[in-house]
Amino acid sequence: MKRISLLTLFTGWVILLTAQVKPTKENWISLFNGKDLSGWKQLNGQAKYEVKNGFIVGTTVFNQPNSFLATEKNYDDFILELEFKVDPHMNSGIQFRSESKPDYNNGRVHGYQMEIDPSERAWSGGIYDEGRRNWLYPLEYNESAKKAFHNGEWNLYRIECIGNTIRTWVNGVPAAHLVDSLKTKGFIALQVHSIGKPEEAGHEILWRNIRIQTTNLKPSPETGIFVANLVPNNLTESEKKNGVKLLWNGINSDGWRGAKKDKFPEKGWIIENGLLRVMPFDGGESVNGGDIVTNEMFAAFELQFEFRLTDGANSGVKYFVTEQEQNTGSAIGLEYQILDDDKHPDAKLGVVGNRTMASLYDLIPSLKLNAAKKDIGEWNRGMVRVYPDNRIEHFLNGYKVVEYKRGTPIFYALVARSKYANWPNFGMAEKGRILLQDHGNAVDFRSIKIREL
């Protein structure tokens, strides 16, 4: 019998193992064969889609709604990569986990979109919810990613959808990190946006190397960018690694007390079903339960909170609250205004709208952006960023609407003409507490988080 050497056995074992374990690159499945549009279907508008020179080419057509070239297959968890080159004068995007149903807006495509935005706004890589909730992760959350997109050149996009976590990259630069409470599956689609003028017709976007992984998915390492977490009162491991913590636990009053009091109010506030609720009284300021403040004090921080208004409601989130002032009513501090601008009379008081939604109350009016406005009864996402150098930003539903620096001559001039003119050193405390205001109107809060900077 012929003897088999140990080397021969080892070589055969390696060959067998290699055949069983495919290299990672073989997990990629091409979604475009380079020849025709097999496996794709067109939805909604009639923008032109064709294959030329091995590329899918989308062309704008006047008087057509948003158009989508969608995969015939639906996908749940996946990693997608593709390349594109877009005319700088048009807008586009990559739909994913998207749907088109006859009973939803007459079949309008709706679902997640990774934005392609060659404009000066530079939100390429952000996450938009087409036909549903609008912007979920604009690049105001991650300014550094705005520089990743190459206008007029080929760009590489990567989308990782694993569970309820969605992450995007533009040319290798991390752009967005979203955790959503709404979990769907659906098709992937290439968008050609509608245009408003006949002269905008004929602009093209080219796609190539469209490939997907659906098995043995391995998420990329943590990148440390801002995480937009839409799951109420939830903290992900990524957020924890970023230094984010829950400022309210969603269960009880731990960490909070009444302003200028040693315990949480016995009336005026209710904690139920994951909500921190200000109860209606008579519309007066701090005449029922009164304001509540954090036990901890903060200097430089990123504060996130969600709030829901009722008709005509007034409230606010204050920061750098020291409780040192001898005053009646609400405690003194810099205030992110929360208001029903349409129905509450305070919106018309002050100067140039500086008492309206998301303004620095009585000092600086917020930008009024239709896209940032939610209907009464819908949840809003607020955020205040206070940098160590005293720069401060207010965000409303992902849009930066106020930007200022305390301690500057302009800041002092604004204070001098405000209702705070007689308060010494107003807004200039080295650190202070976070306050939620009781203004006698029904307002709900949840998902209150903070990250110290």
Query: Is the same domain home to 244 and 131?
Result: no
Query: Is the same domain home to 332 and 426?
Result: yes
Note the pLDDT tens digit of each residue in 42-64.
Answer: 999 999 999 999 999 999 999 99
Q: Give a yes or no: residue 11 inside a domain.
A: no
Whether pLDDT at 36 is above 80:
yes
Query: Is the same domain home to 298 and 398?
Result: yes
Query: Is the same domain home to 360 and 238?
Result: yes
Q: Give a yes or no: residue 7 inside a domain.
A: no
Percent of the chain whose predicted confidence (pLDDT) is above 70: 93
pLDDT of residue 285: 65
CA dihedral 142, 144, 145, 150 (to 10 degrees): 150
Distance separating alpha carbons of residues 125 and 319, to the nearest angstrom: 32
Query: Is the same domain home to 242 and 195?
Result: no
pTM of the model: 0.90
Q: Give a yes or no: residue 128 inside a domain.
A: yes
Residues ≥6 apart with Cβ < 8 Å to 138? 123, 126, 398, 399
Whichever domain contains 57, its CATH number is 2.60.120.560
Query: Is the same domain home to 265 and 397?
Result: yes
Query: Is the same domain home to 300 and 348?
Result: yes
Query: Is the same domain home to 275 and 180?
Result: no
Q: Give a yes or no: residue 4 inside a domain.
A: no
Query: Is the same domain home to 265 and 162?
Result: no
> Torsions phi, psi of 240, nearest 5?
-60, -40
Distance separating alpha carbons of residues 80 and 85, to the nearest angstrom: 17
Whether pLDDT at 169 is above 60:
yes
Distance separating alpha carbons of residues 397 and 231, to the nearest angstrom: 15
- Closest-CA residue to 307 (of 238, 366, 357): 357
Note the pLDDT tens digit of each residue in 271-330.
Answer: 999 999 999 887 666 667 899 999 999 999 999 999 999 999 999 999 999 998 777 778
- Boundary-marking domain end, from 192, 213, 228: 228
Query: Is the same domain home to 128 and 251?
Result: no
Query: Is the same domain home to 32 and 149?
Result: yes
Query: Is the same domain home to 380 and 247?
Result: yes
- Boundary-marking domain end, from 228, 243, 266: 228
Note the pLDDT tens digit of each residue in 412-439.
Answer: 999 999 999 999 999 999 999 999 999 9
Q: Sign (positive/negative) of CA torsion 148, 149, 153, 154?
A: positive
Q: Give a yes or no: residue 6 inside a domain.
A: no
Please give the residue range of the domain that contains residue 379.
232-452
> Torsions phi, psi of 362, nearest 5?
65, 10
Q: Give a yes or no: residue 58 inside a domain.
A: yes
Domain count, the chain: 2
Q: Give a yes or no: residue 2 inside a domain.
A: no
∠427-405-291 over CA atoms, to 5°? 35
Q: Give a yes or no: residue 403 inside a domain.
A: yes
CB-based contact 94:159 (threshold 8 Å): yes
- Boundary-marking domain end, from 201, 228, 255: 228
